[in-house]
Structures are given as C-alpha cells and as structure tokens.
Amino acid sequence: MGRRRLSRYAALVACLMTVTAAFGGVQSARAAQPNILVIVTDDQRQGTMHVMPNTRHFLFDDGRYFPRGFVTTPNCCPSRASIFTGLFAHNHGIKRNSTSALPQNVTVQRYLHDAGYKTAILGKYLNSWPLAQAPPFFDRWALVRPDSYVNAEFNIDGSVGPVPGYSTDVIESRTIKLLRAFNRQDDKPWFLYVAPVAPHRPATPAPQYAAAPVPPWVPSPAMLEADRSDKPPWVRRNAVPPAVMQTERDKMLRTLMSVDDMVGNVFHELAALKERRDTLAIFISDNGYAWGEHGIRGKWRPYTESIRVPLAMRWPGHLEPGSVDTGIATNVDLAPTILAAARITPAAPMDGVSLLQPGTRQRLFTEFWGNPAKGRPDWAQIRTRRVTYIEYYGADRSNPIFREYYRIDRDGWQLRNLLYDGDSTNNPDLSHWKDLIRLYANCAGSACPGPS
C-alpha cells in the first residue's frame, strides 16, 4: 500500500472513530437522561406524612427532603401551572381556577416531549380544562374530573366515561400499566405526571380506610387563637368550629392512605422492571390547607398552613439518601430541576431555580388573585427566615388596603401582627419590604431579585 493510500486510510479510520465516538456520546447522553416521575397531591398540607409510610420511605428517607417547601400561589390551577412552567402566576397568566389557558409552548412536558421523552399524565390536570380535550404534549393520559373519588369520570386516551372503583386506585393501575408499556420501549426515557385528587374535599376515603385510625387531634396555638383583632376583617369574620375541622382533617388523612398505597406499589413496580435508566422522582402538593388556624379553613390565605407543603425528591446516584435541604424550595423550582436533570435548556427563562444543588434561596415570594365577594382579596407576600410581610389589595394593587407583619422567628404561629397589635413602639420600617414586594410582583426570570 503506497504512502498516499496509507495516509488516506489512516484519515478514514480517524474519521470513522470520530463519528463513532460522536454517536456513542449522543447515546451515552441519552442513556444518562433519567426517567422522571412527578407525584402531585391536592390540598395536602405540611405535617401529614405520618400516615404515608411508603412515601416517607421511598422519597423522604431515601431521597432529599425540603422541610421549607412552599408554593408561590396557594390555589390549585395557578400552582399546577407553576409546576408545569417554572413561572410565577403573574408570568404564566393562570391566576384563578377558572382559567386553563396554560402557555403550552413553555411547559416542561413540551420540552421533554420535543427531546424524545414518552410523556403521560394520570389524574388531575387543570380544573376548568374540558375533560374530553387531549392535554397537549402528552402521549398518553388518564384525566379525571376534579374532586371525584368513586366511579369517577375519566378521559383515558380519548375515551370519556365513568370508570368503576376508587379514583386513586384507577390512577395507580393506569400508572403501572404505562410503566410496563414504556419499559418495553426502553430506548426512550419517560415522564409521568401522577396527580390523585386526594386529599381534596369531599375527601372520601376508600372503603378499607373509612374508619382507619389516625393520629390524635392536637389543636395548635393558631387554631386556639382567641384574639384576632390584629387580623384583616375578612379573616376575623371566619370562625370554623374545631369539631368540623377535626372531622375534615381525619377524612383527608384517610384519603392519603390510598395515595400512600399507590406510591408504594408504583415504586415496587419500578424495582421489578429493573429500568436501565435512573428515575428522578418528585413528590409535592399543589398547596397547603388550613385546619382552623386563625378561624379559617382551606387554602387561599398567605398564612403558613396554606402555602407550606410536603416536598421531597429522589434520584439514586445523584442525591444522597436521607439528605435535607433547609433552603426555601418552591413549586416554581420543579420545572428547572427536571430540565437540568434531563440536560435540556429551556427556550425562555424560568422564574425558579434547579433544586439539584443545595438551596441558596432565603426569600420567598407568594401571590394570590382572589374573589373579594367571597372574602378573599388579592394579596402578595415576602417571607424570610425571620419575617413575613403581607399586603392585601382592592381594585388597585399599588395601594394596599391592609398589611400584616410577623416576626416568624419569634412568632411561628403568626399570632401577633405587629402593625395592628396596639403597640406603635414595635412598628417596623416597611420601606424595604414595600420596594421588594413591588420588584417581585412585576419581575420575570433573571430580572427577579436575587435569592439572598
């Protein structure tokens, strides 16, 4: 073989090696993309995991726990839209449950779907989404009518009608069926968004848990608050009897027992399938729920019980089991976390940050658009480890109609609003907080104030 032919041969071999390495790198990168499982409960407050031993084991004990997990808007659809987009409600535009105009092109499901993920949603989507309409960028789905527990109406891949049985069990069986189907095509990673309706009202437990024992009812100081003169008038008008709240609380906890069965069975199925890929699993609720604190029930309020939620994630080989991140983590951070794990760069900036690195956020911004006729005005809040500052609004959001300020490092139950406690000597200087809340209320992406 002549020298020139040897040179050409060597060049050809080098070229082939380069191409092979390049394709091998792509295949390795694709293989490195994890499967992604997101489990979202409905109205589950922090402090309720004691009835969910499977979930505690597989996610909270075997993953990373975020004790300071919050949502940025304590309302179903705005919160879920933030999970899908990584955006504050003032940026994704879904401010109330009556709106379903999700900006689909900037959702995590769109990014994953376009990157080759097999995608599926099982359970609740958005309250006002037409049940018969297919959810964009999901290959498979089993949408349930919101707040339905027994013989619920589903849309399963385009077939709409009632499905016999308990809705959490139906969602579990469909999830496991899809896991098996996706596993048969394991050349592609998958994304499963699993959203049971529990423990949302009417909080109907499954028959086997209808009389299950629950931890004893121990009212907190906020539930026993006798003097609410420092609270806004729309809060003072509420006075939910403790007995009513205890009954509702017990039913909600019993519905979570079925969710815990679902989580346990899904993780056992994952183990049995012996997936070649890692699975990043995330557990969160769309908002918290007040059980009579300050005389109120439900969500929609800026108080801790409405905005704080259980949050954990598990990714074997990437997150240390049993680790705890004490930084503030939010629902807005889930989409950036998922895309970072999948090595996908979003086309547009997100308001959240990835939780794969230890948290540095020491400040939380929350916002809400309400219904004044029902005693739920708009509000916005800034919260740190020491302080929470709240503004309520009428028609003009630039002119607050009431303010609250708590030193939560000393008053964790938010019993003493320093602005209306009758002691003017402890009134704080609000100039910094007023400026900060305005910055957040209009910010987007990197234009938002820093995390410190």
Length of the chain: 452
For helices 76-85 and 334-341, the axis angle rounded to 10 degrees is: 30
User: Of the candidates 212, 156, 193, 229, which has an alpha carbon nearest to the alpha carbon of residue 402?
Assistant: 229
The hierarchical CATH code for the domain 34-355 is 3.40.720.10
Q: Collapse the DSSP code of 293 into the 3-class scheme (helix H, G, I; strand E, B; otherwise coil) and give the result.
A: helix
Task: Tell me whether strands 190-195 and 118-123 are parallel, antiparallel or unpaired.
Answer: parallel
Dump the DSSP string for 415-435.
---TTSSS-GGGPPP-HHHHH
Cα separations (Å) of 285 from 204, 306, 392?
18, 11, 25
Residues 6 or more apart whose CB falls under 8 angstroms from that of 373 comprise none
Contact 303, 294 (CB under 8 A): yes
| Residue 76 known to be catalytic | yes
Q: What is the pLDDT of residue 79?
A: 98
How many angstroms separate the CA atoms of 115 and 340, rounded? Answer: 13
Strand partners, 291: 297
How many angstroms separate the CA atoms of 299 and 271, rounded? Answer: 36
Catalytic residue chosen out of the listed positions 15, 76, 443, 448? 76
Helix H segments across 33-158? 53-55, 76-85, 89-92, 108-114
Q: What is the pLDDT of residue 356?
A: 93
How many angstroms separate the CA atoms of 390 and 366, rounded? Answer: 9
Bond into 205 cis (ω within 30)? no
For helices 242-273 and 167-183, the axis angle rounded to 10 degrees is: 20
User: Could you tell me the pTM of the whole model?
Assistant: 0.91
Q: What is the pLDDT of residue 452?
A: 55
Structure tokens at 348: 């547009």
User: Of the candidates 423, 422, 450, which has an alpha carbon nearest to the alpha carbon of residue 436?
Assistant: 450
Q: Collapse the DSSP code of 79 into the 3-class scheme (helix H, G, I; strand E, B; otherwise coil) and give the result.
A: helix
Q: What is the pLDDT of residue 191?
A: 98
Q: What is the pLDDT of residue 23?
A: 32
Per-residue pLDDT for the chain (452 aa), expressed as one digit of tens each? Answer: 444 443 433 443 343 333 333 333 333 344 589 999 999 999 999 999 999 999 999 999 999 999 999 999 999 999 999 999 999 999 999 999 888 899 999 999 999 999 999 999 999 999 999 999 999 999 999 999 999 999 999 999 999 999 999 999 999 999 999 999 999 877 899 999 999 999 999 999 999 999 999 999 999 999 999 999 999 999 999 899 989 999 999 999 999 999 999 999 999 999 998 776 899 999 999 999 999 999 999 999 999 999 999 999 999 999 999 999 999 999 999 999 999 999 999 999 999 999 998 777 889 999 999 988 787 899 999 999 999 999 999 988 889 999 999 999 999 999 999 999 999 999 999 999 999 999 999 988 777 876 55
Residue ranges per domain, the chain?
34-355
* Helix (H) and strand (E) counts in the chain: 11, 18
User: Of the candidates 43, 97, 93, 92, which has an alpha carbon nearest to the alpha carbon of residue 71?
Assistant: 43
Encode 313-371 in three state secondary structure.
EECCCCCCCCEECCCCEEHHHHHHHHHHHCCCCCCCCCCCCCCCCCCCCCCEEEEECCE
